């Protein structure tokens, strides 16, 4: 995204950003995803440095982009054949400026330092946007849960926690789920943490089962929150989900509850996907089928057409963006919308894009949306509902209470509205009206940067 250069202050700010970015590139060679996330955030902060040079004087950028700590570790475990397997584990403790490190764990074969650092870096700003006292962290492993038995998943997950438990705690670092880590894995991790420490530290993990300290609405929170955020953005322009056509990629936790809420709001959801391909159902997706296939049977989305023969299945997940729709919600994974897919969406008349996943649009795709005046809700604002309810789970755990579904849902809705308002106001104030990429990055950054300045050289 190119920002307009119109003053000496803007030139000085741009030079500062460019210089720090060059250092980051040298320090983190070959970490493409991390550099992509850094580039997007840095570029949107230029107007902040132009307006308030104090952030340059304190060299906040060079500090904030360096993780406070990056832990990598060996995870040995024994498979069902009795063979020893080894995976690599990560936890990046990126920023504790406004609260304990907070962020999910991802189990997926693509996980490496670059992926974990991009997720951890984004998490700092996302968490700050929620208005709650949570710092930024992320972790995971290159373990591939696909095709693994229950026993293998449990043994692996326990081994993962055997090492991770040394670095986490309710006031230190509080992991949760992400791709490949849901209620099952959180349960195994909580059990192992409890055995290793001898403590029932309810607040050490979020996304727990509701029967042992989990919060109602945590499961639904990311998908619901994305739809709440996008509805707010649409409403500002006199639009709504009701009566519109929607394409939602993925069929995991985020996607399922985004479909649920979009349907409740009166939209027709035409398609969803998994990493092998996508289904198109002109009557609107049957969510009960998707939920059973994915949450219970852990099957492939292609099985959907066996039960709904009028629907169609297509190999390859990115083809989903060729389906004409009013609203697109990428809820699968990073970089799932490239420049070409973005152009196709625009040519087919898309009015709004809301990111339920983390960084699903490439930098070029974002440019296409902004240049064509598509309403664009970036992930760190639109998908913040998940971590926001995690923070509500921590609050309930600390005070040993459980709130009703309605109460948590009401709080979630308020938080999403506040994130939208704060982001749109920041965009306006810093000279990019309507640009939520700038707005959300700036609003999140200011909260963290101000805390860092108050805490001295940390
Ligand atoms: N993995 C989710 C995210 O990307 C949730 C993290 C959490 O609840 O801590 O924000």
Provide the percentage of residues in the chain whose pLDDT is more than 90.
98
Nearest atom in ligand 1 to the alpha carbon of residue 105 is: 1
Residue nearest to atom 9 of ligand 1 (CA): 103
> Which of 250, 416, 234, 255 has its CA nearest to residue 327?
234
pLDDT at 275 over 90: yes
- Main-chain phi, psi angles of 174, to 5 degrees: -125, 95
The alpha carbon of 16 and the centre of ligand 1 are apart by a number of angstroms equal to 31
Q: What per-residue confidence (pLDDT) applies to 407?
A: 98
Residue with tokens 């309930």: 396
Residue 5: its pLDDT value, please? 54
If you ran DSSP here, which 8-state letter would residue 363 be given? H
Looking at the domain 221-372, which fold is it?
Rossmann fold (3.40.50)
CA neighbor of 143 nearest in space, from 158, 128, 130: 158
3-state helix/strand/coil string of 212-243: HCCCCCHHHHHHHHHHHHHHHHHHCCCCCCCC
Whether the CB-CB separation of 139 and 173 falls below 8 Å is answered with no
Structure tokens belonging to residue 44? 């949107």
Any ligand 1 atom below 6 A from CB of 102: yes
What's the CATH fold of domain 69-201? Rossmann fold (3.40.50)
* pLDDT tens-digit readout, 336-362: 999 999 999 999 999 999 999 999 999
**Residues 126, 58 contacting (CB under 8 angstroms):** no
415, 383 contact by CB (below 8 A) = no
Q: What's the sign of the alpha-carbon dihedral 226, 419, 217, 109?
A: positive
Q: Is 166 a catalytic residue?
A: no
Task: Give residue 4's pLDDT.
Answer: 54
Distances (CA, A) of 240 to 265, 267, 306, 414: 8, 9, 33, 18
Q: What is the mean pLDDT of residues 117-128?
A: 98
Counting Cα atoms < 13 Å in the Cβ hemisphere of 412 gives 32
207-226: b (≥16 Cβ within 10 Å) or e: bbeeeebbbbbbbbbbbbbb
Distance 31 CA to ligand 1 centre (A): 21
Q: Which residue has the tokens 């985004």?
A: 258
Segment 246-272, tens digit of pLDDT:
999 999 999 999 999 999 999 999 999
Sign of CA dihedral 425, 430, 431, 432: negative
Range 214-234 average pLDDT:
98
Q: pLDDT value at position 276?
A: 97
**Rg, the chain, Cα only:** 21
Ligand 1 close to Cβ of residue 390 (< 6 A): yes
**How many other C-beta atoms are found inside a 10 Å radius of the C-beta of residue 269?**
26
Strands (E) across 318-384 are located at 327-329, 352-354, 375-377
Residues 228 and 356: their CA atoms lie apart, in Å, by 11
176 touches ligand 1 (CB under 6 Å)? yes
What average pLDDT does the segment 269-282 reach? 98
Q: Taking the domains of the chain in order of start, what are their residue ranges?
A: 8-65, 69-201, 221-372
Q: Can you tell me the mean pLDDT for 169-175? A: 98
Q: Which of 92, 378, 386 to mutate to test the pocket of ligand 1 (most atoms within 8 A of CB)?
A: 386
| pLDDT of 3 strictly over 90 | no
Q: Is the pLDDT of residue 2 over 90?
A: no
- How far is it, in rounded angstroms, from Cα 46 to Cα 230? 26
pLDDT digits (tens, 9 = 90+) for 22-68: 999 999 999 999 999 999 999 999 999 999 999 999 999 999 999 99
Stretch (H or E) spanning 141: strand 136-141
Residue 17 has pLDDT above 90, yes or no: yes
Which of ligand 1's atoms lies nearest the C-alpha of 134? 9
Nearest to 97 by CA among 65, 128, 56: 128
- For residue 110, the model assigns a pLDDT of 98
Q: Is 104 in the pocket of ligand 1 (CB under 6 A)?
A: yes
Nearest CA to ligand 1 atom 8: 387
The residue from 102, 126, 138, 380 that is catalytic is 138
- Does position 6 have pLDDT exceeding 90, yes or no? no
**Same fold for the pair 69-201 and 221-372:** yes
Q: Ligand 1 pocket, 178 CB below 6 A?
A: yes
State how far the Cα of 209 lies from the Cα of 299, in Å rounded to an integer. 22
Tokens matching residue 147: 């095709």
Contacts of 11 (CB under 8 A, 6+ apart): 5
Per-residue model confidence (pLDDT) at position 1: 52
* Residue 207 Cα: closest atom of ligand 1: 8
């Amino acid at each position: 995204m190119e920002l307009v250069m119109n003053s000496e202050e803007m030139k000085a700010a741009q030079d500062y950003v460019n210089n720090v970015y060059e250092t980051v590139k040298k320090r983190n060679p070959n970490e493409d995803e991390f550099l992509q996330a850094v580039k997007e955030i840095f570029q949107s902060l230029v107007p902040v440095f132009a307006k308030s040079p104090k952030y340059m004087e304190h060299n906040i950028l060079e500090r904030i982009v360096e993780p406070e700590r990056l832990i990598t570790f060996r995870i040995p475990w024994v498979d069902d054949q009795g063979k020893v397997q080894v995976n690599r584990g990560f936890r990046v403790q990126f920023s504790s400026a406004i609260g304990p490190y907070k962020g999910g764990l991802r189990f997926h074969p693509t996980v490496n330092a670059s992926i974990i650092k991009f997720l951890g870096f984004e998490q700092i700003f996302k968490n700050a946007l929620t208005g709650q006292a949570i710092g930024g962290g992320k972790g995971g492993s290159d373990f591939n849960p696909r095709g693994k038995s229950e026993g293998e998943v449990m043994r692996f997950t326990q081994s993962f926690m055997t090492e991770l438990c040394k670095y986490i705690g309710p006031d230190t670092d509080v992991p949760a789920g992400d791709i490949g880590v849901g209620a099952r894995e959180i349960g195994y991790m909580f059990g192992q943490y409890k055995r290793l420490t001898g403590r029932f530290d309810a607040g050490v993990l979020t996304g727990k089962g509701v029967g042992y300290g989990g919060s109602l609405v945590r499961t639904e929170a990311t998908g619901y929150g994305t739809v709440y955020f996008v509805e707010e953005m649409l409403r500002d322009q006199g639009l709504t989900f009701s009566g519109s056509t929607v394409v939602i990629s993925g069929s995991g936790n985020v996607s399922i509850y985004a479909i649920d809420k979009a349907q409740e709001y009166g939209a027709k959801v035409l398609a969803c996907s998994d990493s092998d391909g996508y289904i198109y159902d002109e009557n609107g997706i049957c969510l009960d089928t998707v939920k059973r296939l994915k949450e219970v049977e852990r099957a492939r989305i292609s099985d959907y057409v066996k039960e709904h023969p009028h629907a169609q299945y297509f190999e390859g997940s990115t083809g989903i963006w060729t389906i004409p729709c009013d609203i697109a919600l990428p809820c699968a994974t990073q970089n799932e919308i490239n420049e070409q897919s973005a152009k196709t969406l625009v040519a087919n008349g898309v009015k709004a894009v809301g990111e339920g996943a983390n960084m699903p649009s490439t930098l070029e795709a974002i440019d296409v949306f902004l240049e064509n005046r598509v309403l664009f809700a970036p992930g760190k604002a639109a998908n913040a509902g998940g971590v926001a309810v995690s923070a509500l789970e921590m609050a309930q755990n600390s005070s040993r209470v459980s709130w009703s579904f309605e109460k948590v849902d009401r709080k979630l809705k308020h938080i999403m509205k506040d994130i939208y308002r704060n982001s749109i106001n920041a965009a306006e104030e810093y000279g990019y009206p309507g640009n939520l990429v700038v707005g959300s990055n700036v609003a999140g950054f200011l909260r963290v940067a101000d805390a860092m300045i108050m805490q001295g050289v940390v």
